[in-house]
Amino acid sequence: MKTISTIDDVQTLLAEHRYVTDRTLAVSIYLAATLGRPLFLEGEAGVGKTEVAKVLAAGLGRRLIRLQCYEGLDVNHAVYEWNYAKQILHIRLAEAQAGEHERARIEREIFGPEFLIKRPLLQAIDDADGAPAVLLIDEIDRADEEFEAFLLELLSDFQVTVPEIGTFTAATPPLVVLTSNRTREVHDALKRRCLYHWIDYPDVAREARIVESKVPGVGHRLALEAAALVASLRSDSFYKHPGVAETIDWAAALVALGKTALDERAVSETIGCLLKYQEDVAKAKDTALGARVERAQKVASQA
């Protein structure tokens, strides 16, 4: 298992796993790892928030434990629940064998560790095998505020108490990455516990490097032109701007069509890789798409 000792270590780790970024994110990751604080990543959709946790787990040789948040997420799905089906089966078998008078013993048994289903947060804390995990709490803005309050407590002491069994404490706290698309503001109390980092859209040169690292067969010119065109879409008002994920998909589509440079027809035919609302597609096509392509090519040639 690798460790993080310097900011350079983080930069190397990210580069080795084809995550293209600037030093500021590496500094935030370094500090989160060194100070043992959760890293709270915010940014538009598809800018590479979730990928940070995946890359850290892969680079550090740690387990990635992911908790995907959604409205209504509760402790049963996030921390632990009892395996009712297995408990009932056990009761039936035990009663058949030992008779009803053994009820107290049977009751003790069915609330033992083998009937406990560990959900992501407990898995991340229960590091009995000595390997701290990377815990990804993805899209926290989708969870309810009550869940956020619960999380606050968990992130401060990395302990979970199961009344029937006892308290689980992480020997080495996991490296925690929280992400949010900012569909709602997360409470200050939770933010206060974390190091905050906003991931912005990359500039054209960096987005082209991301495309080159992720799309086999894409040439430098096409990568730059694609990044420049996406940047131009982001500077206009659309209902939903394309993220880096969309740029990658789009570049792969252009490569699949045998393109080495942009042309208006190819952009028009593949625009659905970038814009996912009919109104946005219509607007892009109606607002001088040819001129937009030419501008992108000019920007690319100067980058």
Ligand X SMILES: Nc1ncnc2c1ncn2[C@@H]1O[C@H](COP(=O)(O)OP(=O)(O)OP(=O)(O)O)[C@@H](O)[C@H]1O
Strand partners, 64: 134
CA-based torsion, 50, 52, 58, 64: positive or negative? negative
* CB-based burial, 26-39: b 16+ in 10 Å, e otherwise: bebbbbbbeeebbb
Question: What string marks each residue from 247 to 276 as x (binds ligand X by CB under 6 A) or -?
Answer: -x----------------------------
**Binding flag, residue 28, ligand X (CB under 6 A):** no
Q: Which is nearer to ligand X, 231 or 293 (CB)?
A: 231
Q: Which is nearer to ligand X, 9 or 207 (CB)?
A: 207
Binding site for Mg ion (CB under 5 A): 50
SS3 at position 177: strand
177 binds, among ligand X, Mg ion, none (CB under 5 to 8 A by kind): none
Q: Which is nearer to Mg ion, 50 or 123 (CB)?
A: 50
CB of 254 to ligand X, least distance (A): 16
Q: Which is nearer to ligand X, 51 or 280 (CB)?
A: 51
Q: Specify the DSSP class assigned to residue 194.
A: S
Binding residue for ligand X, selected from 56, 122, 210, 271, defined by CB under 6 A: 210
Stretch that binds ligand X, among 42-50, 160-168, 169-177, 221-229 (CB under 6 A): 42-50
Binding residue for ligand X, selected from 245, 252, 261, 299, defined by CB under 6 A: 245
**Strand 64-68 and strand 134-138: pairing?**
parallel
**Binding flag, residue 197, ligand X (CB under 6 A):** no
**Binding flag, residue 46, ligand X (CB under 6 A):** yes
* E strand spans, the chain: 39-42, 64-68, 80-82, 116-118, 134-138, 159-162, 166-169, 175-180, 195-198
Structural contact between residues 195 and 37, judged by C-beta atoms closer than 8 angstroms: yes
CB of 19 to ligand X, least distance (A): 4
Helices 244-256/220-234 angle, 10° precision: 140
**Binding flag, residue 45, ligand X (CB under 6 A):** yes
- Phi, then psi, of 179 in degrees rounded to 5: -125, 155
**Binding flag, residue 226, ligand X (CB under 6 A):** no
**Binding flag, residue 51, ligand X (CB under 6 A):** yes
Q: Which is nearer to ligand X, 45 or 116 (CB)?
A: 45
Instruction: Give residue for tokens 């915010």.
Output: 42
65 binds, among Mg ion, ligand X, none (CB under 5 to 8 A by kind): none
Cα separation, 180 vs 92, whole angstroms: 46
For residue 259, how many C-alpha atoms fall within 13 Å in the half-sphere facing its CB? 23
120 binds, among ligand X, Mg ion, none (CB under 5 to 8 A by kind): none
Footprint of ligand X on this chain (CB under 6 A)?
Answer: 18-21, 43, 45-51, 179, 181, 210, 214, 243-245, 248
